[in-house]
Amino acid sequence: GIVLNSAGKLIYKFQVNPLLTQFNIDLSKQPTGIYLIELSNGMQKYQRKLIKK
């Protein structure tokens, strides 16, 4: 998966274990704002907006 900031810049890249239903993303060092989380398995893409306050 990847995390993009509001400017579209890649700020975080990670691997997701398909057997798990939860995972953590550490954005503690990132400023407040809107981020886009994107997961892909090669055939499907999932995107979710995250707002860090």
Q: Are 37 and 16 in contact (CB under 8 A)?
A: no
> Any idea what DSSP says for residue 20?
-
pLDDT, one tens digit per residue, over 6-32 is 999 999 999 888 788 888 899 999 999
Looking at residue 16, its pLDDT comes to 83
8: left (phi over 0), alpha (psi -120 to 50) or beta: left
Q: Can you give the pTM of this predicted structure?
A: 0.83
C-alpha torsion sign, points 23, 8, 6, 12: positive
Please give the pLDDT value at position 18. 79
